[in-house]
Amino acid sequence: MILIRYFICVPLFLCGLVSFVAAEPPLPLETQSVISLGLAQQAAEAALKQCASDGYKISVAVVGPEGVLRILLRADGAGPHTIDSSKKKAYTAASMRRATSFFSDLIEKKPNLAGLRDMNKDILILGGGLPIVIAGEIVGGIGVGGAPGAHLDEACAETGLRKIGAGSKK
């Protein structure tokens, strides 16, 4: 009986040991920094406040680097369309990793690139969206919609970034 256990248990143990030693190490996991809710709220509030002081009723959205909404604020009296435009501008800036005005200007100079507007239903190539860069890494995007001009939307978004000490990639 002892011999049977020996001939069964030892080979099984050795096979397990060999497979443990020969196993490949697991693939490394990707890590990605994401803007915190607290920073997203501070940036959004600063952008909203700036536009309000300039007399504009806007919406502002902040998304993470994957384009998922972190926060959305809509000023009293802001048009309902500003909700979608701010979200889409933030998504576009985070997804394409550049200011939405960059692509708007690019399409104006090179009309053959107008197809960029149709990449997916969430892309909005209109000024007012900026990627959020902290410590050299894109951690999200901010989008403002509702001011009477894309350059004014972008100025309010820039105020939000300054509030949290973030930069952008134009």
| pLDDT value for 14 | 53
pLDDT at 21 over 60: no
- Mind listing the pLDDT tens digit for each residue in 28-59? 988 899 999 999 999 999 999 999 999 999 99
- Mind listing the pLDDT tens digit for each residue in 135-147? 999 999 999 999 9
How far apart are alpha carbons 7 and 30 in whole angstroms? 44
pLDDT at 8 over 60: no
- Percent over 70 (pLDDT), the chain: 86
* CA dihedral for 112, 91, 140, 142, sign (positive or negative): positive
CA atoms within 13 A on the CB side of 116: 21
Q: Are strands 129-134 and 69-74 parallel, antiparallel or unpaired?
A: unpaired
SS3 130: strand
- Mind listing the pLDDT tens digit for each residue in 68-85? 999 999 999 999 999 999
Domains, the chain = 37-163 (3.30.450.150)
Binning pLDDT at 50, 70 and 90, where does residue 113 land? Answer: very high
Write the CA distances from 111 to 92, 108, 166, integer angstroms.
Answer: 19, 6, 32
Q: What share of the chain is helix, strand, coil (3-state, %, to 5)?
A: 50, 15, 35
The DSSP output letter for 1 is -
Binning pLDDT at 50, 70 and 90, where does residue 6 land? Answer: low
What residue type is 8 in one-letter code? Answer: I
- More confident site: 168 or 96: 96
